[in-house]
Structure 1
């Protein structure tokens, strides 16, 4: 099911056939770190709210041509807060509003579920992305993110 479409891009739910393109995009965007196996992250997401795992595909000029994955957003809602992870847009497609459309769609889907607040985490060194989120109305929460690995991905 198409969620958001422009003449150049369409946002839809992830399909298993997207896996390799998604992982390649995450790697190119610098989102893959040694302690997170992207394939395991995909499998985990497919067990919880898989309809909130979104991809953007370029709409090909030739309708018979494959539509390449050019963006991703992994959205979730735990009953208290919404989250966005793995927001990535292919470098060649940045600046065209795909990221903003992902965030608007994430917000819409979360509000639809009764979610009162959306949280996200950005590495503190990624100042350009922090500024971009601020341009969309997001502000620092002045909270410290803490984490504890319960199931190691790296062996």
Structure 2
């Protein structure tokens, strides 16, 4: 797998990958999330390709205090080939280059397979409560986007 920065012509493949991986939610328009990321540290929006096929993503950010990883996704047919591990290693490398002391990520508590993936990479559960507040309410324009998640 080759890892590179997102390019504008990747958008449809990225959204399709996120849908295939069950990452999209009706309250988060994936196209709006992509557009927002491209305004801040676009070089930290990573995609993985095998030949011409986009097979993986990781949206990385650093706010000067902590690094974050969102939208880590590997195509179901390309899993168990260490592509997720390679993306996380690249994300960590890019964050360390920026002087980032710690990386955080969020995983739905019901997603035990992904929690175990991160544990194997050395991540531990912090004793914190994650809280959020929507400031902008997205309306997903595409009804085919996965809406079966618990809210």
TM exceeds 0.5? yes
Structure 1 residue runs of 4+, over 4 Å off?
Answer: none
Mapped pair 1:36 → 2:28: yes
Q: 1:97 corresponds to which residue?
A: 82
Report the CA distance between 1:154 and its aligned residue: 2.0
- Shift in Å, 1:125: 0.2
1:35-77 alpha-carbon deviations (Å, 9 max, x no partner): 0000000000000000000000012xxxxxxx11000000000
Partner of residue 139, structure 2: 154
Separation in 2, partners of 1:100, 1:42: 22
Over the aligned positions, Cα root-mean-square deviation in angstroms equals 0.8
1:112 to 76, 97, 101: 97
Q: Find 1:13's aligned residue among 5, 19, 23.
A: 5
TM-score by length of 1: 0.89
Corresponding position of 1:84: 69
TM-score (structure 2 length as normaliser): 0.91
Following TM superposition, by how much is the alpha carbon of 1:101 offset from its aligned partner in structure 2, in angstroms? 0.4
**Structure 1 residue aligned with 2:121:** 136
For residues 76 and 113 of structure 2, the distance between their equivalents in structure 1, rounded to whole angstroms, comes to 14
Unaligned 5+ runs, structure 1: 1-8, 60-66
Greater relative CO, 1 or 2 (CA 8 Å, sep 6+): 2
